[in-house]
Structure formats: C-alpha cells, structure tokens
Amino acid sequence: MAFPELFERFAVEVLPLGVSDGTHLRFQSVARFVTARAGDAPFRGNGKDQIAFVASGSTKLVAQASQGREQVVAFHFAGDLVSIPSSTAHAYSLCALEDCELVYFPADKFLALAQEESGMVAEVLTRALRALERCREKTVALGRKTAQEKLASFLVTMNDRVGAVEGNQQEMSLPMSRKDIGDSLGLTIETVSRQFSELRSLGLIETQGRSGIRLLDLEGLKARAGHVLAAA
C-alpha cells in the first residue's frame, strides 16, 4: 500500500468526520510510515513515547523482564491504535506477528495535534479506555485463573476480536504462536499446548494446523473461563 493510502486508512478510522484540512495535513506531516515483516520489531522503546496505528496485519506489545522473560501486554489488529510507553520499569517493543503496515507518531505531537479537534481527543480517549478495560481483564486472568481458564478466556476474547473466517462464526485463524500465547497468559509453551489438548479432548475446540481454531461450544468455553458477570 502506498503511503498516502496508508495515512488515509488512519484518517478514516481515527480522525473524526469533518476534521479540518489543516489538522489532517499536520497529522500527516508528523507521521512516519513503516512496513514490517512477520517477526520484525519495528519499534523499540527509545526514550520517547510513541503512538502507532496498525493499518494492516497484527502486532504484539512485549515487555521485557529480567533474565530474558517476556510478557505480551497486548495484541493488536488492523485498525487498532497502540500507545507505546518508554519511561517505565520495563522496556517495551512492538513486534509484528504477520506482515504489517504501521503509521507512527511521536506521542507528544500526536496529542498536541489531537487537541485541535475536540472529537479527536474523545476518540482517542474512548480507545484508551477500551485498552485499559482489556488490560484489567487480562490482569484478572493472570492473577487469579488456572491455566485452563486462562486459555479458555483467551480463545473467547480472540473470537470477538479477530472475527469469523468464511462465514463460520466460531472459526478463526490466530496469527500468534503458542509461545506468544504463553507469554501473554503467563504460561509456558508446554502448558499452553497441554491445555489446547485438554480443551480438544473435552470437545470444546477443534484445531486445524498451527493457527486454525474452531470453537465448538462457545458457552462451554465461557463456563470454563472463570467469568463472573455483574449482577443486574
């Protein structure tokens, strides 16, 4: 995709309707366009906060802990806006799961420009609150769930986010490896694999190759995910 088209995709998703041409142009002038191959880490924390828009493909935001341990903090798909912090207790890097097209902005300039258009800050705020909500749900899983509950809730969440394949509502193709899933759920590859096998033998899922997954019993999975809905 050519750069102008890339930026247009960002504009359509994130800039509110009726944004002024001036703002539009100023955003474009601070944007940096990057294409990344699967496995690349096009961005590493470099002391300045950044904001990335995922125009196509999918990414993971990874934090490094000591001794080579890694924690996947979030996965992102086309249309997502990612805030990448830099002055935190852990180094973060954004990493492509599949080939990706990304639009980068320095966070300070992005936020300053956003303030020119009131609807724009609101849009970014909405997205930030959604990201916060997802992060909190992940916190619950990491802190208080068993391996099986973690994987079950992961699959239910991903089913919502990556959407259906070829019309079947409960069929999806996951771009991340077992290692990525483990690093996201605080588990090892082996435990993830064993839980996949377990869910398979319980008749809740079917796998096809390395990335194909069909949820045979969404309600059953939710029941095993340890969710507790708010009382009405």
C-beta of residue 183 within 8 angstroms of C-beta of residue 72? yes
Q: According to CB under 7 A, which one of 146, 163, 164, 219 is a site residue for DNA?
A: 146
Q: Does 179 bind DNA (CB under 7 A)?
A: yes
C-beta of residue 99 within 8 angstroms of C-beta of residue 40? no
Check residue 79 and give left, alpha or beta (phi > 0: left; psi -120 to 50: alpha).
Answer: left
Residue 2 or 230: the one with the smaller Cβ distance to a second copy is: 230
Residues 56, 49: Cα–Cα separation, whole Å: 22
**DSSP 8-state assignment for residue 38:** T
Q: According to CB under 7 A, which one of 127, 193, 214, 218 is a site residue for DNA?
A: 193
**Cβ count within 10 A of residue 9:** 19
**Cβ count within 10 A of residue 81:** 21
Q: Does 180 bind a second copy (CB under 8 A)?
A: no
Residues 140, 160: Cα–Cα separation, whole Å: 18
Q: Candidates 4-12, 123-131, 146-154, 219-227 — which segment interacts with DNA by CB under 7 A?
A: 146-154
Q: Which partner from the list a second copy, DNA, none does 178 bind, CB cut-off 5 to 8 Å by kind?
A: DNA
Q: Candidates 23-31, 35-43, 78-86, 172-180 — which segment interacts with a second copy by CB under 8 A?
A: 78-86
Beta-carbon contacts of residue 22 (< 8 Å; ≥ 6 apart): none
Q: Does 51 bind DNA (CB under 7 A)?
A: no
Q: Does 64 bind DNA (CB under 7 A)?
A: no
Q: According to CB under 8 A, which one of 64, 148, 191, 207 is a site residue for a second copy?
A: 64
| Sites of contact with DNA (CB under 7 A) | 146-148, 177-179, 186-194, 196-197, 207, 209-212
